Amino acid sequence: MKKYNFNAGPSILPRVVIENTAKQILDFNGSGLSLMEISHRAKDFQPVVDEAVALIKELLDIPEGYSVIFLGGGASLQFMQIPANFLIHKAGYVNSGTWAKKAQKEARHFGEVVEVASSAPDNYVYYPEIKDVPSDLDYLHITSNNTIFGTELREDPDVPVPLIADMSSDIMSRPVDVSKYTAIYAGAQKNMAMAGVTCIILKNDMLGKAPRELPTMMDYRTHVDKGSMFNTPPVVPIYSLLETMRWVKAQGGVKEMDHRAHERARIVYDEIDRNKLFCGTVKEDSRSLMNLCFVMSEEYKDLEKPFLDFATERGMVGIKGHRSVGGFRASCYNAQPLEGVNALVQCMKDFEAQH
């Protein structure tokens, strides 16, 4: 049976990315060796990193003065590497969801942290308004898309201090004004690649200001100076990232990704709002275009498990909501085809007809 992949991460990738990566794993560039067994310093691998960096810069229209690096450790390592490199006295954090809160917790190891805005008291059902940002912060950290609760900012806020964003779950889904940011990071496994690599975009002139001794691996300058080759980078994930960036470009770039994200989200949210069995979980103006969350309406609560079984039988994968929210979550990253969301909506309609 055909499967429709709504996993929240690791998540759906374009088929061509998987096929081309598989080919290189079997025989890298006709070398007779696998991508898994070459040296990262082999002359054929440097162009992979170079092209991946160049494509990210091109697709996001990154201005001069920024570096793009690839590290291991996931977005979660960035929760501490960001403050290690940028927190001098005091940092501000927007508490918009589970990941945002985790990022804030790690920063507290390095200095004073103030919560500038929060939707925690309302169980994160909206994206908190970013206003009255104190001007004495070293930086303000935001999480542009809340993967678990399904809220999204989807704009680049104007703030009076350096801005840093965890864009793990919506990077490459829309044009971004990178010039507004000091740093952007993303665990690649949602919209950029297979799991195993983290992409970090850094404004060069902001580096090296923290007043602490940084272990070599913690210091961004190590990786910027060595072009992500200070130590062995995650070679296969980086290759899959390159293939995904080629795909995004071939499809028409981030503008087209943005257009498709709006189209998919409209189709699913329209059905959530129309169908008497379901309702959305977050305020409408905060709805994520990437992670579409919904629950059974009050009077149909007992149909939650039956709907999950019904949808699973029809090939829907990964639509069970995160345990902290319950209900359902349909993650619609860049590679999610319209066919996928149409199949989900048909499922919702057919289930409604039965009840």
Ligand X SMILES: *Cc1c(COP(=O)(O)O)cnc(C)c1O
- Contact with ligand X (CB under 6 A) among 21, 49, 74, 141: 74
Q: Cβ closer to ligand X: 127 or 300?
A: 127
Q: Which range binds ligand X by CB under 6 A, 72-80, 214-222, 238-246, 346-354?
A: 72-80
Q: Cβ closer to ligand X: 168 or 240?
A: 168
Positions in 17-36 near ligand X (CB under 6 A): none
Q: Draw the binding track, 175-214, toward ligand X (x: CB under 6 A; -: no contact).
A: ------------x--x------------------------
Q: Which range binds ligand X by CB under 6 A, 114-122, 161-169, 213-221, 339-347?
A: 161-169
Q: Does 104 bind ligand X (CB under 6 A)?
A: no
Q: Cβ closer to ligand X: 103 or 159?
A: 103
- Contact with ligand X (CB under 6 A) among 7, 29, 76, 312: 76
Instruction: Label residue 201 exposed, middle or buried (CB < 10 Å: 0-12, 13-18, 19+).
Output: buried
Q: Is residue 337 helix, strand or coil? A: coil
Query: 112 has which bridge partners?
Result: 90
Could you tell me which residues come within 8 angstroms of residue 287 by beta carbon, excluding any fewer than 6 positions away? 150, 151, 152, 265, 269, 280
- Report the DSSP pairing between strands 140-143 and 90-95: parallel
Q: Does 143 bind ligand X (CB under 6 A)?
A: yes
DSSP per-residue string spanning 172-241: TSS---GGGEEEEEEETTTTTSSTT-EEEEEEGGGTT--SS---GGG-HHHHHHTTT-SS---HHHHHHH
> Rounded CA gap, 247 and 335, in Å?
9
C-alpha to C-alpha distances, 20 to 33, 36, 251, 254, nearest whole angstrom:
15, 14, 16, 21
Q: Which range binds ligand X by CB under 6 A, 68-76, 154-162, 315-323, 344-352?
A: 68-76
Residue 99 annotated to the active site:
yes
Could you tell me which residues come within 8 angstroms of residue 353 by beta carbon, excluding any fewer than 6 positions away? none
- Contact with ligand X (CB under 6 A) among 6, 86, 99, 139: 99
Q: Does 92 bind ligand X (CB under 6 A)?
A: no
In the set 156, 190, 203, 258, the catalytic residue is 190
Q: Does 166 bind ligand X (CB under 6 A)?
A: yes
CB of 75 to ligand X, least distance (A): 3
145 within 8 A of 160, measured Cβ to Cβ: no
Residue 247 annotated to the active site:
no
Residue 205 annotated to the active site:
no
Q: Does 9 bind ligand X (CB under 6 A)?
A: yes
Q: Cβ closer to ligand X: 138 or 166?
A: 166
- Contact with ligand X (CB under 6 A) among 5, 169, 173, 336: 169
| Pick from 147, 180, 189: nearest CA to 161 | 180
C-alpha to C-alpha distances, 101 to 135, 166, 289, nearest whole angstrom:
22, 12, 21
Q: Cβ closer to ligand X: 20 or 104?
A: 104
Q: Cβ closer to ligand X: 143 or 286?
A: 143
- Six-digit token string for 45: 């691998």
Count of residues of this chain found to bind ligand X when the rule CB under 6 A is applied: 12
In the set 156, 166, 170, 219, the catalytic residue is 166
Residue 171: HSE in the Cβ half-sphere, 13 Å Cα cutoff: 30
Name the helix (H) or strand (E) containing 70: strand 66-71
Q: Which range binds ligand X by CB under 6 A, 71-79, 212-220, 297-305, 313-321?
A: 71-79
Q: Which range binds ligand X by CB under 6 A, 73-81, 129-137, 221-229, 343-351?
A: 73-81
Question: Helical H runs in the chain?
Answer: 15-26, 46-59, 74-86, 98-107, 220-225, 235-251, 253-274, 304-313, 338-353
CB of 283 to ligand X, least distance (A): 19
Provide the annotated active-site residues. 99, 166, 190
- Residues making contact with ligand X (CB under 6 A): 9, 74-76, 99, 143, 147, 166, 168-169, 187, 190
